[in-house]
Amino acid sequence: MIKQALLPLFTWLGHSALGQAVADSKYAFAIIEVFHLFGIILLLGSASLMALRLVGLTMRDVKVSELSRQLRWYSLVGLLTMITTGVMMVSSIPNKYYLSNLFWWKMGFFWTGFVFHFTIYRKVTRSDRIGLALGAFTAIVVVVLWYGTGAFGRAIGFF
């Protein structure tokens, strides 16, 4: 149902100046993909480091809230880079993405991760009074969601 409702957006993206420019360029997609991967690295790196801290495997002498504050900009820059470059990539070959089940799985993981990141994850990582169970739950969920996003995204190129 959501997929069908988004068809006009995909069609518009493919016909947009951005979509045409990326599709017509020999190198644009590859360059955009490099920046997309850079965004993923920033987000996964910061989320992984925070997950390790939440379960007490690293940096036990650093408060969770302090580490969260230090990693916040890396996560945000990574997320914004992924969104911007993702739109650029989709605009160049919208039919491939629209028809790809892996793309829709990626989007499911991505948007669930996005909501989780700015709700539960944010609340947990800004507090220094969390128990190990809540910290471990949060760490597992954030890692599964963001690595799932990356794995499904990478799989799109192969299928």
The answer to whether residue 1 scores a pLDDT higher than 80 is: no
What does the pLDDT look like over 40-95, one tens digit per residue?
999 999 999 999 999 999 999 999 999 999 999 999 999 999 999 999 999 999 99
- Structure tokens given for 157: 């190129």
- Structure tokens given for 46: 């910061």
Instruction: Look at residue 148 in the predicted model and tell me its pLDDT.
Output: 97
Instruction: Look at residue 91 in the predicted model and tell me its pLDDT.
Output: 97
Instruction: Look at residue 23 in the predicted model and tell me its pLDDT.
Output: 96
Phi-psi region of 100 (alpha: psi -120 to 50; beta: other; left: phi over 0): beta
Instruction: Look at residue 127 in the predicted model and tell me its pLDDT.
Output: 93
Q: How far apart are CA 82 and CA 1, in angstroms?
A: 25
Q: How far apart are CA 2 and CA 14, in angstroms?
A: 19
Q: Where are the domains of the chain?
A: 2-156
Q: How far apart are CA 85 and CA 38, in angstroms?
A: 10
Instruction: Look at residue 159 in the predicted model and tell me its pLDDT.
Output: 84
What does the pLDDT look like over 122-153, one tens digit per residue?
999 999 988 989 999 999 999 999 999 999 99
Instruction: Look at residue 2 in the predicted model and tell me its pLDDT.
Output: 84
Can you give the pTM of this predicted structure? 0.92
Contact present, 151 and 137 (Cβ < 8 Å): no
Cα separations in angstroms, 21 against 13, 17, 38, 60, 88: 11, 6, 22, 49, 10
